[in-house]
Amino acid sequence: DTGVSQDPRHKITKRGQNVTFRCDPISEHNRLYWYRQTLGQGPEFLTYFQNEAQLEKSRLLSDRFSAERPKGSFSTLEIQRTEQGDSAMYLCASSSVGSLSNQPQHFGDGTRLSIL
């Protein structure tokens, strides 16, 4: 169990640029979640996948945001035309959910995005 891995750990970009983050969940975890955390606040839910299907999206996820999990393993989160307000820590979590039990969500160390 190597834990949830996120790449890159830090991203600095200019306003208006596109950015993409990657998350590798714990092996065999079928659910993958994205959250956003701003300084001094708790994480806020963005979206989650069960295998490759995107099951729920928050209203926070504007049309500039898109997430994919094409083969039900790793996931990418893309932000187009970045704005100052997108500066935050983007956290990925994964869990194993089945008919018999739902396991807790385990988080990665996040990607910190800074918009210049």
The residues binding another protein (CB under 8 A) are 4, 31, 33, 35, 40-45, 48, 56, 58, 91, 93, 95, 97, 102-110
SS3 at position 36: strand
In whole angstroms, how close is the CB of 111 to another protein at the nearest point? Answer: 10
Report residue 30 as tokens: 């079928």
Comparison of 80 and 112: residue with beta carbon closer to another protein? 112
Nearer to another protein, 52 or 80 (CB): 52
Minimum distance from CB of 24 to another protein (Å)?
Answer: 13
| Minimum CB distance to another protein smaller for 7 or for 56 | 56
Q: What b/e readout covers 30-57, taking b as 16+ CB neighbours within 10 angstroms?
A: bbbbbbbbeeeeebeebbbbeeeebeee
Q: Is the Cα torsion angle 24, 29, 88, 61 positive or negative in sign?
A: positive
Which SS3 state, helix, strand or coil, does residue 86 take? helix
Q: What is the rounded radius of gyration, in angstroms, for the C-alpha atoms of the chain?
A: 14
Q: Closest distance between another protein and the C-beta of residue 43, in Å?
A: 5
Closest approach of Cβ 85 to another protein, in Å?
Answer: 19
User: Which of residues 7 and 109 has its CB atom nearest to another protein in the complex?
Assistant: 109
